[in-house]
Every structure is written in C-alpha cells, then in structure tokens.
A and B are shown apart, each in its own frame.
Chain A
Amino acid sequence: MGYGNFLNVTSTTLELQGSLIGSLLAEKLRTSSVSLSSLPTSSSLHQFLSNYKQWWLELVSEDPVHVVVETVLLFTIIVVIWRGNGSASKKKGKFDSKLTHREKEQLISDWKSTPLTPSLTPSEKRIVLRNSTQVTDYNGTHILTTSSSTPLLNLSTFDFLCMSVSSTVKSASLETLKTYGCGSCGPRGFYGTIKPHLKLEEEFARVWGVNESIMYSDGASTSSSTVAAFAKRGDLLIIDDGICEGLLTGVTLSRSNVKSFKHNDMEDLRKVLEKIRKEDKRMRRNVLEQRRFIVTEAVYRNYGSILPLDELVNLKNEFCFRLIVDESLSFGVLGPNGLGITDLYNLPNSIEITTVSLENALGSVGGMTIGDDEVVDHQRLSGAGYVFSASAPPFVSSASVASLGVIEEDGPRMIKILKKNTASIVKIVNNIKHLELRSDPNSPIIFASLPSSNEESHEDQNLILQNIAEECKKNGVLIVATGDHVTDHLLVSSPPPMLRMTVNVMHTEGMLKEAGKVIESACGKFC
C-alpha cells in the first residue's frame, strides 16, 4: 500500500463513519486533494488519485466491515505510538535533566547513613548477657557452665537420645577422624564427597525405603535450600503460620505465592484450599501449570505441637498438593520405632519431600532430604546449600550413621522412656496453676505459657517467664524462656512468650521430680 492509498483509506472510511471529528478531517483531506488537482503539474497524479478513490469507494460498497476494521486498527496504532513516545520522554525529563552537578554534590554530601546496627533493646541486652555464659561440660543430663559452680539439670537441648555424648557415636567419630582427618575442604561436587557421606546417604535411603537421599552440611539450611530448590516464582506454597525460621527462609527465597493457614488447624487449611479451588475455577487457571506445596513441620520447633499427618495427607490428596515436611524434631522421637511422623501414623511414603536435621535426636551435624529419585537428583544441582557450600566433615556423617544404627536397634525402648519422661513433665506443668501447657502432650518439647486468662502485655509476660527461667537456673534447672529471641517474622506472627522444657532418655524420674519442684517454686515467686 502506498502513501496515497493510506490517505484514501482515511478519507473514505471517515466519510462512511460520519463522525464529527472524522468528517472534519475528511473535509480537510478532500480539500487538500482538490487543491492538488488544481495544480497543472499534478494532473497525472490527480488522475491517479481519483482512480484510486473510485477503487476504494467500490471496495467500501462491497465490503464495508473490512474498511471499518482497518480504520479502527490504524487509529489504535497511531494512539499507541503517540502515547508510548509521550510517556518515555516524560520519564527522561523527570529524573535526568532536573539535577545539576552541584545539586547532586549537595545531595551526596547531605546524605548521612544510619548506624550499621541500631542500639540494643532491653530484651536484646538480656540475650547478650545470657550468651556470655558458656558450657564447659555436658553429659546428657547435666550441664556445667561458666556462671555456676554446680551442674545444672539439662531441660533445654534438643539432644533427645543423648547421642552426642554416646560412646557408640564417639567411637565412630574417632575412627573416621583418624582415617580421614577433620575437614572435607570442598563442596560435594568438587572432591568434597568422602566415603562416609555416601554411607550416610545410603543408610538414610534404606531406612526410608527409597533409592537415594541427600546430605547437607547444616541442619537449618537443609530445609531452606530444599524449599527454594523446588518452589520458584509463580508456584504456590501453603504454609502453616507456626513454622520455624529455616522453612520460612526457604519460602522467602523461593519468591513463590504464599498463603498461610492457622497453626496446626486442618479445618482452616481446608478453607484455604477450597478458596484456592474456587479461584482456580473462576479464573480458569490450569492447575497443571503451577507447582503446589504444603509446607509444615512434624513437631513444631516454636510450639511443640504435632502435625496431624493423617488429615493432612487426605487433604493434599484431595486437592492435589505435594507435602514438604520438616522432620528435624520428630525423627528419633515420634512413632513406636522412633522413625518419625510417618512411623507414628503408619503412613510410610506419604510425604513427597522430607527434611531432617541431624543435629537434634541424632546428635551430629548436618541435615538430610529424603524423597524419590527425582527429588534427590534435582537437588544435587539446585540445592543452594548443597552445591555452594563445603560438605560437612566426614566424621559427623559417621556419627550420624552410628546414631541411626542405635535408633534402629534400640528405638522402641528409648521411645518408651522418652514418652514416660514427657508425661512426667506434662504432669508437672499441669499441676502448676500459674502455667498452662501449650504443646502437644506427646511431644518431648514441652511449651508452657502463663494462663490465657492473664491479661498482661506480651512484654510483661515475657519478663515474668525470663525471671522464672533465671530463678530455675539459680536452683539448678536449665530451661529456656523463648520470648526474647523467638520474635516476629515478616511472613508469620510470633508465638506468645513461653517456657520451653525438653526431656531426653537419660533423665530419671527423680531428676524430673526435683526439676518440677524447682519450677513450681520459681513460678510461685514471680507469678
């Protein structure tokens, strides 16, 4: 199409439309063509144009719709080009040309940075003060610290099975240290994979009944790397609003869409899932395009509650979600054989992706992710903590293999002791009228807060609980008040200030009774 053709298109079709502006424009165009024709030199051009006009008029009479559509398109193009240009030039003018060199210098010299870190709040000062106390000796039940002359009863580490001091684990570590030395001096990909690492991966896969598992060198980065390896921008994560920091970091790093449900509340989860299903229908989303995961913990680090796995499995099957469950505090702790939450509910292989920290019940260092071949293989290239971090020293893998062996052999007996000890602490807490049990009665991590009838502010409650913990420490019992350090996170709300007690297999009834008395008297003093 030539230029003249364009002219004709506009003039004729505008005539046809007969709109006000259109006809004005058309008038102008027509007069211009008339004035062109009046020039003697352009007589042949005039001839040419009039022929074209004739041709177009015929076209219009034959197929008016075609012409209308074309006109609209043409106008749209013009409008788009004009507006696009306009906004671009505006932007340029707004930032660049306004500031002179001198003004820029002024701005730069005016700018003053805030301090690198703000000054500490009272609760942060308390943490620093407490942190100056160091552990000098530890035998499972008792801890000796630099600030007390007598051993303190340990109700605060996550060493449920006392593996970190067990002779089996230590002799396994010793053996490997002697043969392989300490550090691995490299990431797994680059000669940092040492035989004990392979052995551990093999053992975990065997216990889980899968082909492969993958080891990370740090417990917390296991969960964050795993979540971020699978969920990406555009995927959907449904999170429990009580999950711990490791998983939350993974969720943040994944940049997926995040929805949360009330802590451990399967009814609320159903509501959330149904809402998503409705939305899918309304927006005609293709569910096969978006990877969807439910992210939870088996035993919640910040609440001590236990995941109702049976209900959750039903829900995820019904709504087609995959499960990512952090078993860091449940492996070696739950189930008749101590093999975790799937053992407790007897639902083997119901979880697609499981992460386990080796630093708690297994008394070692590192973490594992267990899933099918696809899950494990993908992480060997995409798990940030696996690919970009040096592997753990080989001796900690041997230590984990040894503790895994102990759990397999002696698990049922140890679980019984753990249950009995849990029950005694739960009983103690229930008998103290100033405290209310907040954790699951079967969880060896016991959380207690001031009664829910207490109307004091969180800060005041926290102070009371901190004082109780300090008082207990003075009287030889080490428990943790979490209010100072377990605080707000961007994605979830912080738990209320609570006292945390953990039991392990070496505690005897007598020790726990003594501890009960100490805690009760401390509560009596401050409540």
Chain B
Amino acid sequence: MPSTSSLKQMKVAELRSLAMSTLPEVPSNLSKMKKADIIDLFQVTSSSSSSSSSPSADTYKYDSSEVDPYSDVRSRLESLAAHSAANPPPEHHITLFAAFTTYLGYAVLICVGHLRDFFGLTLSIGSRYVPATPRTGCAPLLKSWDNFYNRRLYHRIQDCFNRPVGGGEGAKCRMKVMERVSYDGNKTMTVANRKTNKNTQFQDGEYNETDAEGDVVRRCLNLGSYNYLGFADDWNETCEEDVLSTLSVAPVSCSSPRVEVGTHLLHRELELLVARFLGKDDALVLNMGFNTNATTIPALVQKGDLIISDQLNHTSIVSGARASGAAVRVFKHNDHHDLDAVLREAIVMGIPRTRRPWNKIVVMVEGIYSMEGEYCNLKNIVEVCKRYGVYLYLDEAHSIGAMGKTGRGCCEYTGVDTKDVDVLMGTFTKSFGGMGGYIAASQDVVDYLRTKCAGSIFHNSLSPIVCQQIITAFKVIMGEDGTKNGRNKLRALRDNSNYMRMRLTDMGLHVLGNYDSPIMPVLLYNPTKIAAFSRECFKRGLAVVVVGFPAVPILMSRARFCVSAGHTRKDLDDALVKIEEVADLCKLRYARSTFG
C-alpha cells in the first residue's frame, strides 16, 4: 500500500484542500494552523480509513506466474485509488459557456418543436407530427408535455437508445449491435435486414456484417452493460453446464407466488447462499430487482413512519416509498452532515400537524449510485444512523459482486460490518448475469417480509433456471468452484475500472465518481452532444450509453461507461483512442478548456 508514502510527496496546497474536504469537523481556525498540523490531521483520517476501507493488497496482487497487464501504471493506479478512497470525488463545475449553450440548445429545440407543431396542425404538412386523433369525447391519452418531449426531443435521437443486440451475442464485452433504419425521420425504427430488403437506406461500414437471419449487425465493444464480472462473456465455461442441466429437470417458471407453491429447492439454496455471503441470518429472493424495492419498502414502512432518502436514489426506491404511504424526506446526496440535520429536525418535530413522535425512521441509500459512479459514504452514514437509533436500508444493486476484495459489496469496501446495516438489498441482474433481487436481514425481518411483501405473496417467483445461474455465479465469486476465476474477475474489474477512469481523467474529460467503482459517467452537458457522442462512438464500433433529461438534471447530460472484468487492456486502449477522437470532435475536454 503506497498510500502514506505517496501522500507525503503530495503538494502541501493539495493536502490542505484534502484535509478541508475530508475532515468532518474542521476547526474554524484551520487557516491559522501550521502546515505540519494539517498534514497530521490528514494522516490520521487517511490512515484510519485506509486501514479498513482499502482492499487488502494480497487479493489484488499478481503472483509471479501471472502477468499483470497494468504493470507499467500499477503504482499510479494504486495511489489514485487510495487517494480516492480517502476523499470525496472531485466536483466538476459546469463552465458558464457550457451552461449557456446547453440552455440555448434546449431553447432552440423547444422553439423549433413548437414551430413544427404549429405548421403540422395548421397546414397539415409533416403529418407524422400531428398528434394522434383523440377518441371523441375522451381526453387525449398523452398530456401535451409528455407528447411534445417524445415527439420533438426524444424522437430526434431515438436511435441512440434501445439499440437491439443480435448476432447470437448477449451482453458480452464484444457484442453485435443490430443496425436500424428509419423511414420517417426517427419516429419509428426498423431493423435493417438484407433478406427482407428493409435496408435500402443502409450503407455498410467497417464494422458491419450480416448475421444468419439477414440482419445487419455492427461489431462493437460493449461499454454499456452491467456485466461487471463478465459472466456474459465466459458463460459457456462457467455457468452453462449447471444451468442447462437445471433446465432439463426444473420448470421454466413456477407459475405461483413464493408463499403458495412457488418456492423451489433452488430458491432456498440461493437464499441461504446470499445470507452466508453477506453474514446475515436469512434472505428473501424475489423475481425482479425493481420490484424487490418497490414491494419490500411498502411492507417495511407505513403511515406514521418516516423514510429519509438520498437525493439521488433509484426510481425503484422512490416507487416503493410512494406506494408505502410513509412520509419521505430527502437529504443531500451522500452528505452525512445533512442527514444528521434532517434526522434531528425530523425527530424534534415529529409527525407534521399531530406532532406525535415517528414510529420508526428508515434511512435509504445505495451502494453505488448508477448515474454518478459514486459509492456510498457508508461508514459515516452508519455512524449517524446508530447515533439516533434509526434503521438503515442499503440498496446494493450495482455494488454487490462488483466492490470489495471478495465482491461482498459496499459494506466490505468501506469496512462496515453488515450487522450494522439493518436491511441489505441487491439485484442479481448485474454482476451475476441473472435476474431478480434479494433482501438480506435478520431472521425476524425476513420472516415478516415473507408474509407481507407483495413480491413474496402475490408475484410469481423467480425462475429456477435463473436461480441456478446465480448460484453458480456465487460459487465462482466465492471460489467454491475450486478455481481462481472469481478472484481474477474481481481483480480484473477493479484494474480495468481504475485504468479507464485514470485515462479518461487524463484526457481532460469531466469524469464523475470514485476510483474502484466500475461506472464512470462523463459529462456532455449539451443536448446535441448526447446524440453526437453516441453516434460517433457507434460509428467507431463502441457501444456506449448516453443519458439525458429527465433521467439526469437538465444541465448534466452524460455518457456512462461501465467496465467489465471481461475487457482486456487492449480493448480499453483501443476504445480510449476512439473516445479521444470523439472527445475532440464533440469538444468535451472541459477540464482543459472552458469551451471544451
């Protein structure tokens, strides 16, 4: 661990700012303090956090028999990771130029949209933009803004989303994305096919080929799927045998809820495995990750309870909270000081109007925020929760399997005992290459949820085939398959992510999030750059995800790279060359210049 030694070499000014931002209670006379004091202060925090939060060296170390693909940048990668573990992620301030052009871009889009609507309606030209004729006597099905946004903004760049994958590839790192064409200005997209001659507008490019069914596909490097541990890539070696043998003996679907006759032997096996993996009493496995949140939260909290939710929590948590009838307060993203303030106020004030005390308060946070690439400030949040005696609900949808030296998620990474988190939730869609979600908690809580949560009593249970996939993936991660596959996957994921993040940052892009997190969003700002970035990358054989309003704030449109253990260094190097090209083309180097 080079943390302390490399930190000592850092500039004093940098250290000062580090200390300012790391320490929870910075003495107000900090500016008058001596240089040495500040360094001391900083070292106390950094050493205390690094001892528990940084992964132990041996898990990630390469044996003498193995080749470290990143040996040339190893020391820099490690020091950046250590630095990031001890500090909040860098904040990027949108430049005035970018903000102005972004607003301008939306203004132009909206004006032109209204103009086209006007002509469409009055002159009946451009008939595809005339809203569908409403049924007489009924209100239109879509309210004007929804409709307008879809028709005039989303449809323009529709080709950047929902790109289908074909050619016999799933979510693999090197996949084949199906080419689509539109004959009505992007309102509808059809798959380009050689056999049905739907591809009259389609011109072959460098990466194109035709698959067995005649569909035109493009060979792409996948930088968009949540295939963190690469189970989609080596599925045939790791999981195929188990899954196919289960398919021959178990039904595809149980067609019954868990509490009736939908509990298969494999469900229970998986539950016990999850509980053991996370060090909890028991677990409950449900059919869908989204619904795990959406149905568990209403079962846990009711009217008279309070949910304190991170500002950037996923929609599934928001849905669950809304369906529960409990009061909801929001605290600033990842800010435990604000959480403290919100909690104090909530406890002092009690339930609004009646002013009775709250029955219970549940704080809800995520392990890794999927749009920010940041992991949760768990240690401090746990501390605040303990101080006030409130419950903590942690959604590890993206972090389980992807973080920590043995893949046990955010708790392991931040050095928090899983016993200190009351409810652990996660999904199997990402790292495990399966489907569904789990809740791991104490025996009482899991038993109660079994009898009350709609996902358990009304919704049909997870397919036993998918259960087998997850069980096999777990065994690989835990090293119970007798190989080092799991360890190698975790190590490769971490190295790939950190390398990618380092290079993107070096490029002068505004990269969000922490080191050691496999998600790296890059800010694009302008609405036009959303499409430009995605299309230019696609042209160069890179499948990337771009996100715009309303999934993210209007100014903060971004591209999101998700790195996998299945990527090789060569993949990433090739991709980075192309990304650099596109970044120049789209003027994205905001860290270097105001004008990008």
Q: Are A131 and B290 in contact (CB under 8 A)?
A: no
The segment out of A244-252, A267-275, A407-415, A448-456 that lies at the interface is A244-252
Chain B neighbourhood of A138, CB < 8 A: 250-251, 254
B450→A135 contact, CB < 8 A: no
Indicate if the CB atoms of B357 and A221 lie closer than 8 Å: no
Inside 8 A of A221's CB, which chain B residues have their CB? 288, 290-291, 294, 459
Please give me the residue from chain A that is nearest to B136 by CB atom. A320
Known: A120-B451, A146-B265. A181 touches B150 (CB 8 A): no
Q: Is there an interface contact between B263 and A249, defined as CB atoms closer than 8 Å?
A: no
Instruction: Determine which of A128, A130, A194, A480 lies in contact with B164 in the assembled complex, contact meaning CB atoms within 8 Å.
Output: A194
Assess whether A218 is in contact with B459, with CB atoms less than 8 Å apart. Answer: yes
Q: A173-B252, A183-B435, A185-B171 are in contact. Are A133 and B263 (CB under 8 A)?
A: yes
Chain B contacts for A232, CB-based, 8 A: 143
**Cβ of B166 and Cβ of A194 under 8 Å apart?**
yes
Judge whether A116 and B445 touch: CB under 8 Å. yes
- A483 on the B face (CB < 8 A): no
Say whether, besides A170-B248, A246-B458, A183 and B434 are in contact (CB < 8 Å): yes
A267 to B150, CA, bound (A): 40
B489 to chain A, nearest CB (A): 14
Q: Do A182 and B222 form a contact, CB below 8 Å, given A191-B171, A193-B162?
A: no
* Interface check A179, CB cutoff 8 A: yes
Q: Does B493 reach chain A (CB closer than 8 Å)? A: no
Decide if B171 touches A384 in the complex (CB within 8 Å).
Answer: no
Number of residues on chain B facing chain A (CB within 8 A): 122
B-contact 0/1 string along A291-306, CB 8 Å cutoff: 1100000000100000
In angstroms, how far is the closest chain A Cβ from the Cβ of B333? 18
Bound: A320/B263 CA distance, A: 44
Given A181-B433, A217-B435, A220-B291, answer yes or no on A127-B170 (Cβ-Cβ < 8 Å): no
Residue pair B256, A156 in contact (C-beta under 8 Å): yes
In the complex, the answer to whether A393 meets B289 with C-beta atoms within 8 Å is no
* Contacts between the two chains (Cβ within 8 Å), count: 358
**Residues of A contacting B261 in the complex (Cβ-Cβ under 8 angstroms):** 135, 143, 145, 154, 156-157, 478, 480
Question: Would you call A20 an interface residue if the criterion is a C-beta within 8 Å of the partner chain's C-beta atoms?
Answer: no
Assembly CA distance A490 to B454 (angstroms): 14
Residue B161 at the A interface, CB < 8 A? Answer: yes
Q: Are A95 and B349 interface neighbours, CB within 8 A? A: yes
Q: Which residues of B contact A438 (CB under 8 A)?
A: none
Q: Is A380 an interface residue (CB 8 A)?
A: yes
- Contacting pair B264 A377 (CB below 8 A): no
Known A-B contacts A112-B389, A130-B259; A185 and B226 likewise in contact (beta carbons under 8 Å):
yes
In angstroms, Cα B252 to Cα A164, docked, is 5
Contacts of B319 in A (CB 8 A): 253, 384
**Contact of A388 with B by CB under 8 A:** yes
A343-397 CB contacts (< 8 Å) to partner B: 357, 359-360, 363-365, 372-375, 377-378, 380-382, 384-385, 387-390, 392-396
The answer to whether B463 and A396 have CB atoms under 8 Å apart is yes
CB-defined contacts of B268 to chain A, threshold 8 Å = 134
**Is the pair A114, B247 in contact by a Cβ cutoff of 8 Å?**
no
Q: Mark A170-192, 1 if CB is under 8 A from B, else 0.
A: 10011001111111111011111
Interface-lining segment among A258-266, A282-290, A417-425: A282-290
Q: Do the beta carbons of A124 and B459 come within 8 Å of each other?
A: no
Interface centre among A180, A185, A230, by most chain B C-beta atoms within 10 angstroms, is: A185
Min CB distance, B425 to chain A, in Å?
A: 14
Q: Is the CB of B244 within 8 A of A117?
A: no
Q: Which residues of A contact B162 (CB under 8 A)?
A: 188-189, 193, 380
Q: Indicate if the CB atoms of B435 and A480 lie closer than 8 Å.
A: no
The answer on a CB contact under 8 Å between A245 and B244 is no
Kindly state the separation between the CA atoms of A378 and B148 in the bound complex, as whole angstroms: 11
Interface residue? A458 (CB, 8 A): no
B361 at the interface (CB under 8 A from A): yes
- List, in ascending order, chain A residues with CB within 8 A of B215's CB: 195
Q: State in angstroms the CA–CA spacing of A45 and B53 once bound together.
A: 81
Give the distance in Å from the alpha carbon of A255 to the alpha carbon of B323 in the complex.
Answer: 10
For chain A, residues 140 to 172, give those with C-beta under 8 angstroms from any C-beta of chain B.
143, 145-146, 154, 156-159, 163-165, 169-170
Binds B, one of A59-67, A103-111, A510-518: A103-111
Q: Are A388 and B429 in contact (CB under 8 A)?
A: no
Q: CA of A287 to CA of B170 in the docked complex: distance in angstroms?
A: 48
**CB distance A180 to B451 under 8 Å?**
no
- CB contact under 8 A between A113 and B545, given known A217-B288, A382-B146: no
- The answer, yes or no, to whether B13 is at the interface (CB within 8 Å) is no
Is there contact, CB below 8 Å, between B323 and A252? yes
Contacts of B391 in A (CB 8 A): 113, 116
B259 contacts across to A, CB distance below 8 A: 127, 130-131, 485
How many angstroms between the C-alpha atoms of A226 and B580 in the bound complex? 41
Q: Say yes or no for A198: interface residue by CB 8 A criterion.
A: yes
Would you call B469 and A183 a contact (CB within 8 A)?
yes
Max chain A CB contacts within 10 Å: which of B178, B259, B287, B435?
B435
Q: Which residues of B contact A255 (CB under 8 A)?
A: 322
| B466 contacts A by Cβ under 8 Å | yes
Task: State A145–B251 Cα separation when bound (angstroms).
Answer: 14
Residue ID in chain B nearest A481 by CB atoms: B260
Residues in B with CB closer than 8 Å to A381 are: 150, 154
Question: Hey, which chain A residues are within 8 Å of B358, CB to CB?
Answer: 111, 113
In the complex, A137 has a CB within 8 A of chain B: yes
- Assess A117 versus B300: contact at CB under 8 Å? Given A182-B239, A183-B231: yes
Residue in contact with B451 in the complex, picked from A128, A182, A382, CB distance below 8 Å: A128
Beta-carbon nearest neighbor of A478 in chain B:
B261
Residue A399 at the chain B interface, CB threshold 8 Å: yes
Judge whether B255 is part of the interface by a CB distance below 8 angstroms.
yes
Q: Is there an interface contact between A164 and B251, defined as CB atoms closer than 8 Å?
A: yes
Give the chain B neighbours of A157 by CB distance below 8 A.
254-256, 260-262
- Chain A CB within 8 A of B399 CB: no
User: Does B378 count as interface, using CB distance less than 8 angstroms?
Assistant: no
Q: Is A46 an interface residue (CB 8 A)?
A: no
Which residues of A in the span 229-258 have a Cβ within 8 Å of any Cβ on B? 230, 232, 244-246, 249, 252-253, 255
Q: Does the CB pair B291–A118 fall under 8 Å?
A: no
Q: Which residues of B pack against A, CB within 8 Å?
A: 132, 134-143, 146, 150, 154, 161-166, 168-172, 175, 177-178, 191, 215, 222, 224-227, 231-232, 235-236, 239-240, 243-244, 247-256, 258-265, 267-268, 287-291, 294-295, 300, 314-316, 319, 322-323, 325, 344, 347-349, 357-362, 388-391, 422-423, 427-430, 432-435, 444-445, 447-452, 454-455, 457-460, 463, 465-466, 469, 543, 545
For the complex of A and B, the 5 pairs showing the least CB-CB separation, nearest first, are A185-B171, A389-B290, A390-B429, A183-B433, A218-B288
- Can you list 25 A-B pairs with a CB-CB distance of less than 8 A? A111-B388, A111-B389, A113-B359, A113-B391, A117-B300, A124-B448, A134-B265, A135-B264, A156-B256, A158-B255, A164-B254, A181-B232, A182-B235, A183-B435, A185-B226, A186-B429, A253-B322, A320-B137, A363-B252, A365-B253, A365-B460, A365-B463, A378-B141, A389-B291, A396-B253
